[in-house]
C-alpha cells in the first residue's frame, strides 16, 4: 500500500474516522489502533515480514528494559552488543549478504582462486533500514543514559511501526516520538489543515514532478552509451530533481498524515537545492539519517581521531559518508557515492568553512552573486554524484562519466521522451523550486496558511489537485526510497 493509491485513500479515511471518533476516549485504545493499522499497512505488502518486524521490535523492547535494569557495566555492554548484533545481523543478512559473498568471490577470483558459492535469493523487507535504525538508536540511547526505556509495549511497538514513517522514514528518534505516544492527542484544526496542505504538496512533488522526471531520466540512463554527453547531463539533472521530489514528496506526505493524527515527526528536508556548500547540503538532505549517523558514527569517530587534526576530521567524515552511502544498499556504487561526497568536504575542511552556517536567503533575494554561484556549484556536484547513485554498478557509472566528458557535450540533446512531457516537466520543476524558494523559511514548501483570502488558498489547492490529475503519468508510482 503506497500513499498515492486508492487502497491507501480508503485505508486512511477509515483509520482517521476510527481514530478520532471511535477510539478517541482512551490513549491506550488510540495507540493500539495505530499499532494494528500500522501492521495492516505493512502486511498489505507481505505479511510474512510482519513477523520479522514484530520479533525485532519485541527483542529490542525487552532489551531496552534489561539494559536499564543491568547492574554491572559489563552486563549492560553485553546487552547492547547483543542488540547491535541482532539489528546489524538482520540488516547484513537481508541487505548485504549477497553483496559480501559476491565481492569475496570476485576478490578471490582476482588471485585465480575460484570459489563456487551460491547466492541466496533474498527479498529485502520493506523499510528494514528505517525501523532497524530506529531500534538501534533506542537501545544506544538507553545504554548512554540519554533516554528511559518505555515499559508500555503498545507504545514501543506503535513507535517502531508507525505507518506514516515505517517504509521510508524519517528515522524518528525515541526522544521525539515516544513522549507524543504517551500524551493524549487532541485534534488541532490548524495543524490538521496544515497537514493536508503538506500532503497535497507531497503528492504534487511525487506524482507530477518526480514521476515525470523519471520518464525523462530513465531512458537516458538505459541508453546512455548511445547518447551525446549533452543528453547525459540532462539525464543527471532530471534524475537529481526526481530523487529529491520523490523522497521529499514522500516525507511531506508522511509528515502530513502524521499531523492529521496529532503527531509532529522529524523534519527530513530543508530545501537542499538551496544549499551553499556540500556541508550545508548534508545538513538539509535526509536530515534524520544524517543526524543519526552524526550522533552514532561521526561524533564517536571525531573523538577517536581528535589527535590527528584535520586529517582526523577528513577520516571521520569519509567514514561517516561511506556509512550513509552503504545504508542505501549493498552496492559498490553507494560506497563510491559516499567517497565522492567525502572528497567534496576536503576543501571546506582545509578552508575551515565546513561549519559556517548560512541561512538560505535571509534577504528576499540572493545576497550576492557568489551565493548564487555557490548554490549552482553545490547543485552541480550533487548532480554529478547522483550518476553513481543511479547506476546499477561501478562500470556503468564509470562509462556514464566517460561519456559525459566528450565533445558531444555541445551537441543537441536527444531525449526519447515526448516533447510535451519534457516541457510540462520543466514547467513543473520551475513551479516547485520557485514555490519552495519563496517559502524557504517555512517548514515546508507549500505552507500558504498566511494567505489571508481563503478564495486564493482554495484556488491554489484546486490548481494543484487538477495538475496532479492532469500531469501525473501512470508509471512510476513506486517510491525510490522503498528499495532502501
Interface positions with other proteins (CB under 8 A): 4-6, 20, 187, 189, 192-193, 196, 207, 223, 226, 458, 461-462, 465-466, 469-475, 477
Closer Cβ to other proteins, 245 or 354, answer by number: 245
Active site residue 328: yes
Per residue, what are the HEC states of 72-122? CHHHHHHHHHHHHHHHHHHHHHHHHHHHHHHHHHHHHHCCCCCCCCCCCCC
CA neighbor of 126 nearest in space, from 87, 155, 169: 169
Least distance to other proteins from the beta carbon of 187, Å?
A: 5
Closer Cβ to other proteins, 209 or 287, answer by number: 209
| Helix, strand or coil, per DSSP, at residue 433 | helix
- CA–CA gap between residue 324 and residue 293 (Å, rounded): 7
- The count of C-alpha atoms lying within 13 angstroms of the C-alpha of 76, restricted to the half-sphere facing its C-beta, is 14
Hey, what's the cell of 240?
Answer: 537529481
In this structure, the number of other CB atoms found within 10 A of the CB of residue 274 comes to 19
Q: What is the CA radius of gyration of the chain?
A: 23
Per the CB < 8 A criterion, the answer to whether 131 and 53 are in contact is yes
Least distance to other proteins from the beta carbon of 325, Å?
A: 31
Closer Cβ to other proteins, 362 or 470, answer by number: 470
Bond from prior residue into 44 cis (ω within 30 degrees of 0): no
CA neighbor of 481 nearest in space, from 207, 208, 128: 128
Per the CB < 8 A criterion, the answer to whether 407 and 154 are in contact is no
Least distance to other proteins from the beta carbon of 162, Å?
A: 22
Please pick, among 66, 225, 286, 328, the residue that the annotation labels catalytic.
328
Closer Cβ to other proteins, 111 or 189, answer by number: 189
Closer Cβ to other proteins, 248 or 472, answer by number: 472
Sign of the CA dihedral running 273, 259, 125, 7: negative
Closer Cβ to other proteins, 32 or 196, answer by number: 196
Least distance to other proteins from the beta carbon of 408, Å?
A: 18
Sign of the CA dihedral running 105, 331, 215, 223: negative
Least distance to other proteins from the beta carbon of 471, Å?
A: 7
- CA–CA gap between residue 84 and residue 167 (Å, rounded): 21
- CA–CA gap between residue 104 and residue 110 (Å, rounded): 10
Closer Cβ to other proteins, 104 or 187, answer by number: 187
What are the residue ranges of helices labelled H in 162-308?
163-166, 174-182, 189-203, 211-222, 229-260, 278-284, 287-293, 299-304
Least distance to other proteins from the beta carbon of 212, Å?
A: 12
Least distance to other proteins from the beta carbon of 470, Å?
A: 4
Hey, what's the cell of 39?
Answer: 501492521
- CA–CA gap between residue 91 and residue 107 (Å, rounded): 22
CA angle 340, 343, 346 (to 5 degrees): 160
Least distance to other proteins from the beta carbon of 29, Å?
A: 17
CA angle 453, 454, 457 (to 5 degrees): 100
> CA dist 264 to 19, 68, 134, 248, Å?
16, 27, 16, 16
Per the CB < 8 A criterion, the answer to whether 170 and 268 are in contact is yes
Least distance to other proteins from the beta carbon of 251, Å?
A: 21
- CA–CA gap between residue 347 and residue 394 (Å, rounded): 25
**Residues involved in catalysis:** 328
Amino acid at each position: 500500500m503506497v500513499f498515492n493509491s486508492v487502497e491507501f485513500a480508503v485505508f486512511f479515511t477509515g483509520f482517521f474516522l476510527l481514530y478520532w471518533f471511535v477510539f478517541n476516549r482512551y490513549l491506550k485504545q488510540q495507540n493500539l489502533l495505530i499499532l494494528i493499522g500500522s501492521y495492516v499497512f505493512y502486511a498489505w505488502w507481505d505479511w510474512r515480514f510482519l513477523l520479522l518486524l514484530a520479533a525485532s521490535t519485541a527483542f529490542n523492547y525487552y532489551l531496552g528494559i534489561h539494559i536499564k535494569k543491568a547492574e554491572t557495566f559489563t552486563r549492560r555492554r553485553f546487552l547492547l552488543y547483543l542488540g547491535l548484533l541482532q539489528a546489524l545481523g538482520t540488516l547484513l543478512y537481508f541487505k548485504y549478504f549477497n553483496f559480501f559473498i559476491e565481492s569475496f568471490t570476485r576478490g578471490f577470483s582476482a588471485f585465480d582462486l575460484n570459489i563456487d558459492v551460491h547466492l541466496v535469493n533474498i527479498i529485502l523487507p520493506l523499510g528494514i533500514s528505517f525501523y532497524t535504525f530506529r531500534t538501534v538508536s533506542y537501545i544506544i540511547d538507553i545504554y548512554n543514559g540519554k533516554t528511559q526505556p518505555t515499559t508500555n509495549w503498545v507504545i514501543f511497538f506503535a513507535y517502531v511501526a508507525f505507518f506514516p514513517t515505517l517504509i521510508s522514514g524519517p528515522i524518528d528518534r525515541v526522544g521525539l516520538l515516544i513522549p507524543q505516544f504517551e500524551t493524549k492527542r487532541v485534534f488541532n484544526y490548524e495543524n490538521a489543515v496544515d497537514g493536508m496542505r503538506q500532503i497535497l504538496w507531497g503528492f504534487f512533488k511525487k506524482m507530477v514532478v518526480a514521476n515525470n522526471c523519471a520518464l525523462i531520466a530513465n531512458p537516458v540512463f538505459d541508453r546512455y552509451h548511445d547518447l551525446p554527453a549533452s543528453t547525459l547531463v540532462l539525464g543527471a539533472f532530471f534524475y537529481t530533481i526526481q530523487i529529491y521530489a520523490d523522497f521529499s514528496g514522500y516525507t511531506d506526505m508522511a509528515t502530513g498524515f502524521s499531523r492529521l493524527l496529532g503527531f509532529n515527526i522529524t523534519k527530513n528536508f530543508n530545501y537542499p537545492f538551496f544549499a551553499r556548500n556540500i556541508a550545508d547540503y548534508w545538513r538539509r538532505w535526509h536530515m534524520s539519517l544524517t543526524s543519526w549517523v552524526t550522533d552514532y558514527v561521526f561524533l564517536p569517530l571525531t573523538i577517536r581521531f581528535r589527535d590527528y587534526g584535520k586529517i582526523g576530521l577528513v577520516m571521520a567524515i569519509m567514514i561517516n559518508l561511506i556509512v550513509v552511502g552503504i545504508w542505501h544498499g549493498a552496492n559498490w556504487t553507494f560506497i563510491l557515492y559516499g567517497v565522492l561526497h567525502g572528497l567534496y568536504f576536503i576543501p571546506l575542511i582545509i578552508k575551515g568553512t565546513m561549519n559556517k552556517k548560512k541561512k538560505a536567503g535571509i534577504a528576499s533575494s540572493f545576497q550576492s552573486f557568489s551565493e548564487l554561484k555557490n548554490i549552482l556549484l553545490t547543485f552541480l556536484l550533487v548532480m554529478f554524484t547522483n550518476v553513481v547513485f543511479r547506476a546499477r554498478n561501478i562500470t556503468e557509472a564509470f562509462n556514464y562519466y566517460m561519456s559525459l566528458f566528450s565533445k558531444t557535450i555541445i551537441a543537441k540533446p536527444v531525449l526519447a521522451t515526448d516533447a510535451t512531457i519534457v516541457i510540462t516537466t520543466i514547467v513543473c520543476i520551475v513551479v516547485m523550486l520557485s514555490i519552495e524558494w519563496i517559502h524557504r523559511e517555512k517548514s515546508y514548501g507549500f505552507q500558504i496558511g498566511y494567505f489571508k483570502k481563503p478564495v486564493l488558498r482554495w484556488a491554489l489547492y484546486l490548481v494543484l489537485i487538477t495538475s496532479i490529475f492532469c500531469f501525473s503519468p501512470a508509471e512510476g508510482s513506486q517510491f525510490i526510497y522503498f528499495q532502501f
